[in-house]
Amino acid sequence: MRTVLLMAAGGVLLLVGAIHSVLGERLIFRRLRDGGVIPTAGAPPLQARHVRILWATWHIVTLFGVACAAMLFRNAAPSTNDATQAFVEQAIAMAAAASALLVLVATRGRHPGWIGLLVVAVLVWLASTPVT
C-alpha cells in the first residue's frame, strides 16, 4: 500500500507541475512576450526585469515539484535507510500541506492548485504513517 500511495503522490505532483507550467504560459506569460522565449513586456507597476524573474520563479516551482516527485518515486522502492526516507517524506508532506494552505488562503479557494497539493500531502502522510 505504501508503494501505491507514494507512486500516486509522485504522479499527482508531476501532473500539478505540468498543468502549472502549461497554464501559466498560456494564460499569463503569453501576453507578456515580445516575441522571445522569456517574457519581457512589463506593465505598471511591473517592469521587464520583474516579469523575467516572475517567469523564472513560476517555472522553478514546477522544477521543485518534479524533484519532489522523483524523491517519492525513489522512496516507493524498499530501502535500508528508513529514517532518511521518513524524513524526506515528512518534509514533502509538510511542504505540500503548507503550499495548499497558502494557495487556499491567498486565492480564497478560487485557484484549484490547493486541491492537488493537499492530495499530495495526504497521500504522502498516509504512506509515511506506520500501520498498527
Q: Tell me what pLDDT residue 132 has.
A: 59
67 vs 84, higher pLDDT: 67
Residues in the chain: 132
> Looking at residue 87, what is its pLDDT?
87
Helix/strand/coil for 94 = helix
Cell of 58: 513560476
pLDDT attached to residue 13:
94
Q: If you average pLDDT over residues 99-106, what whole number do you get?
A: 90
Q: Looking up cell 524498499, which residue turns up?
A: 78
Q: Structural domain boundaries of the chain?
A: 2-128
pLDDT at 131: 61
Please write the tens of the pLDDT for every residue from 31-59.
Answer: 888 888 888 888 788 888 888 888 988 99
Q: Please tell me whether the overall predicted TM-score, pTM, comes out greater than 0.85 for this model.
A: no
Pick 10 or 128 by higher pLDDT: 10
